[in-house]
Structure 1
Amino acid sequence: MVFKTDENERNTEQLRESISEKISLAESKLEGVTTKIRQSQAEVDKLAQKQISNSAKVRNIKENTSEFTAVDVRDAYDEALEAQQRLFVMRGQMDKFRSEQGHLQELIMQLQDMNGYLTKTPLLEGGDTELDPAEFVESVIKAQELERKRLSNAMHDGPAQALSNFILQVEIAQRLFDIDLDQARDELDALKATASATFTKVRDFIFELRPMMLDDLGLTPTLRHYFDAFNEQNEIEVHFTASGTERRLESYLEIMIFRAVQELVSNAARHSQASSVKTHIDTNEDRVAVDVEDDGQGFNEEQALGNSMGIKVIKERVDILNGEFNIDTAIGQGTRIGFTIPLATEGQDVFA
C-alpha cells in the first residue's frame, strides 16, 4: 500500500511520535494491571488458606458428628461454601487481569515493532489514496484491542463464569451426600443441566472465535448456520438470502466478509431496536455484494463513521480491497449498509 503525503519525513516522524505515546500509555496501563494482579494474588492466597482451615473444620465435623449441633454443622458448611465461592470469583478476576496483561504486553511489542520498521523504512510518497497513515495504524490497533476486549469479556462472562459455577455446584453436591441424599440428587440434576448449558456456551464461543465451517464449506453455508443459531438465541429475527454463483472465495475474503456481516447484524441487534434484519449476499464471477438492512431507529451517518469502530473498520477494509461501501440511514428510518468487493480473475490482483 502507498500512502499519500507531501512531507514524507515529517509524517514519518509524527507517526513515530504517535506510536511512542501509545507505547507509554500501554505501559502505564500494564503497570496498573500488574499491581491489580499482585493485590488479587494476595487476596487469593488468603482465601486459599481460609479454605484449608474450613476444610479441616468440615472434616472434623464429619468425624465427630455427635459432638456438634445441627446449627454448628450448617454454619460450618455455609462458611466453607461462601469462602469457596469468593475464591472462585477472585480466581476468575485474576484470569481476567492476566488476560489483559498479556494483551497489553503483545500490544506494546507490536507498537515497538512498528516504530522499528518506520525507523528503517519511512512512509512512501505518491499514490492517490486518501488514507492517512497515522489514522490507519490507529484504527488497526483499536480494532485489534476492541476485538480482544470483546473476546475477553465474552470468555469471562460466558464459559469461564459457567465453569466456575459448575465447579461450585460439584462442591455443593459432594457435601450434600453426607447431609441430605434427596437434595443431593436434585443438585446433580441441576448440575447436569449446567453442564449442558456450559457446553453450548463453549461451542458458541468457539464458533464466534473462528467458525471451522468457513474453511470446510465456505461463506454462504457458514452464514446460514450462523443465522440459524442467531435466531434461536435472540429476539430479533434475521432473514438471510443468497443469489448468484455459490463459490469459494479467497480465505481472507471469506473471513473478512463473515466478520463484517457478523458485526453489522450484531450492531442491529444491540443498538438499533430493530425487530428484523434482512441480509443478502450476491456473488458472481467478478464481484461479491453484501447488503444488511434493518427496520430499527437509524442513526446519523457521519457520527456512525466517526464513533463506531466496527463500521469504520469495515469501510476501511472494503476501501483497501478497492471496493465500494454505502450507508443509507436516517433517524427513525432504519438502516441499510452495503458493500461490494471486486474478485480477482486469473492473472489479476484485487489490490491493484
Structure 2
Amino acid sequence: MDRELRGETRARDELVDMLITELKRIRDKLTELKIQIDQTQNVVEREQTRNADIFTELNTIKDNLETVPRQDIRAKYDEAIEARFRLTTMRGQLEKFQSTREYLEREQQMYSQLLNRLQGIEDLPQPQEDNKDVGTKGQINIVRVIQAQEEERQRLARQMHDGPAQSLTNFILQAEICQRLFDRNPARAAEELDNLKNVASITFQKVRDFIFDLRPMMLDDLGVIPTVRRYVDSFREKNDIQIKLDILGEERRLQTHREVMIFRGIQEMMGHARDYANATDISIRLDIGNNVVKIVVDDNGRGFDTESAFSNEDGHSQDPRIQGLITLKEKFELIKGSVSIISGETDGTSVRIELPTSD
C-alpha cells in the first residue's frame, strides 16, 4: 500500500516538474514573441506609410504621363510592386506571430490549470479500490494529453522545416544568383527575380494555409461555424475527397475553448479520414443545440475493429489513428463531453461527439 502511495506521489511530482518546465518555456517564448510582434508592427506601419507615399507618386505620374520619362515610370511601378509585396509579407509575418502568441497563451492557461489542480491535491489518502482507479485514470489522461501536444509540436516543426523554412533557404540561393547576374547578364537577372517573386507568392500562400491550419484567426473573429465552412472548402480544394457539410441549429458564438474543441475535433476527424482511412467521401453534421453541440463525422474509408482497438488502449498506442481517437475522447471527457466511435474494416467509420454548450 505504501509503495503504491509513493509511486502515485512520485508520478504526480514528475508531472508537476514537467508542467513547471513547460510553463517557463512558454513564458520565455511569449516574452520573445512580444518583442518580435512590436518590431514587426513597426515595420508594417512604416511599409504602410511607404505604400501610401508611392501611391501618391503614382497618381502624380499618371497625371503627367506625357512628360515623365518611360524609365522613371517603370522604376516607380517596380518600386510599388516591391513595396506591396514587402507589406503583404510583413503583415503575414505579424499574423503568424500573433497567432503563435494566442496559441501559447491558451497552452499557458491550460498548463496553469493542470498545475493548480495537481498542486492543490492534498497528500493522497489510503487508496480504496474505487478511487484508486479514478486517480490513476486521471493521471493517465493528463499524460496522454501532454504527450499528444508534444507529438503535435513535433509534426508542426517537421512541417515548418520541410515547407517554409526550406523555401526561405531557396530564396537566399536565388537572391545570390540574381546578385551575381546583375552586372554580367541583366536580362537573366530580371528573369530570375521574376521567378523568385512567383515562388515567393506561392510560398506566402502556403504559409497562410499553414497558419490557418495551426490557428485560424477567423475562429476568434467570426466563430466556429464560418471557420468550419472555410476549412471544409479549403480541404475539398486540396484533396480528392467529396465532403458534405450540414449545419443545424442556431448559428451563434460559444465560449472560446468550446469553439476551439469543436473545430479541432472536426479537423482531426477529417485528417484521419484522409491520412489513415483513404476515404473518398466524408459527411459532417454539426448541430448547435440549446444545451448540447452534436457533431457526427462519417467516412467511407478503411475502418477498424473498435472492440479490439479500445479493449486494450495501451496495446494500440502505436496506431496513430487509434491513439488520436483515444486522446480526442479523453480531451472531451475532461470538459464533460463524450466521443463514441462506430467502425468496421469494410464499413467506414462514424464518430459522434457531444459537448455541452456551457459549463
Matched, 1:179 2:179: no
Q: Residue 75 of structure 2 corresponds to which residue in structure 1?
A: none
1:9 matched residue in structure 2 = 5
In the other structure, the counterpart of 1:284 is: 289
- Give the Cα–Cα distance (whole angstroms) in 2 for the partners of residues 288 and 116 of structure 1: 27
| RMSD between superposed Cα atoms in Å | 3.6
% of aligned pairs identical? 39
Distance 1:219 1:243 in 2: 13
Task: Give the letter for the 2:309 counterpart.
Answer: Q
SS of equivalent residue, structure 2 residue 287: strand
Identify the range of structure 1 (194-203 vs 118-127) with the bigger mean alpha-carbon deviation. 118-127
Output the CA distance in 2 between the equivalents of 1:241 and 1:171: 51
Equivalent positions of 1:1-352 (< 5 A) are 9-10=5-6, 12-16=8-12, 19=15, 121-122=122-123, 132-301=137-306, 302-303=308-309, 306-307=316-317, 308-344=322-358, 350=359
Residue 176 of structure 1 and its aligned partner are, at CA, apart by 2.2
Structure-2 change in CA distance of 1:131 and 1:317 (3 Å): farther
- 1:318–1:123 Cα change, 3 Å: farther
The verdict on how the C-alpha distance between 1:114 and 1:221 changes in structure 2, with shifts beyond 3 A counting, is: closer
Deviation of 1:309 (Å): 3.2
C-alpha deviations, 1:43-73, integer Å up to 9, x for none? xxxxxxxxxxxxxxxxxxxxxxxxxxxxxxx
Q: Which amino acid aligns with 1:265?
A: M
The question of whether the paired residues in 1 share the 8 Å contact of 2:16 and 2:119 is answered with no
Aligned-pair CA distance for 1:223: 0.5
Q: How many angstroms apart in 1 are the aligned matches of 2:121 and 2:354?
A: 36
Deviations 1:225-277 (A, max 9, x none): 11111122222232222111111111110001111111111111111111121
Residues 8 and 123, structure 1, Cα contact 8 Å, conserved in 2: no
Task: Provide, for residues 73-125 of structure 1, a one-character-per-residue CA deviation record: whole Å limited to 9, x for no partner.
Answer: xxxxxxxxxxxxxxxxxxxxxxxxxxxxxx9xx99xx89x9699559744577
Partner AA of 2:303 in structure 1: G
- How many angstroms apart in 1 are the aligned matches of 2:13 and 2:223? 42
Over 3 Å counting, the alpha-carbon distance change for 1:212 and 1:116 in structure 2 is: closer
The separation in 2 between residues aligned to 1:7 and 1:325, in whole angstroms, is 35
Unpaired segments ≥5 residues, structure 1: 27-102, 345-349
The alpha-carbon deviation at position 194 of structure 1 amounts to 0.7
Equivalent pair of 1:293/1:336 in contact (CA under 8 Å) = yes
With normalisation by structure 2, the TM-score equals: 0.63
- Structure 2 distance, partners of 1:221, 1:6, is 54
Partners in 1 of 2:338 and 2:189 — Cα distance?
61
- Counterpart of 1:62 in structure 2 is none
Which residue identity does 1:133 align to in structure 2?
Answer: G
Which residue identity does 1:200 align to in structure 2?
A: Q
Aligned equivalents of 2:118, 2:244: Cα separation in 1: 46
Which runs of at least 4 in structure 1 moved beyond 6 Å after TM superposition? 5-8, 20-23, 124-128
Conservation of the 8 A alpha-carbon contact between 2:300 and 2:348: yes
Structure 1 residues 180 and 237: CA distance shift in structure 2, 3 A? farther
Question: TM-score, normalised to structure 1's length?
Answer: 0.64
Q: SS of the counterpart of 2:143?
A: helix
The whole-number CA distance in structure 2 between the counterparts of 1:235 and 1:257 is: 24
Structure 2 unaligned segments of length 5 or more: list them: 23-103
Per-residue CA deviations over 1:18-51 (Å, capped at 9, x if unaligned) read: 659989xx9xxxxxxxxxxxxxxxxxxxxxxxxx
Query: Per the alignment, do residues 16 and 341 of structure 1 end up closer, same or farther by CA in structure 2, a change over 3 Å counting?
Result: closer
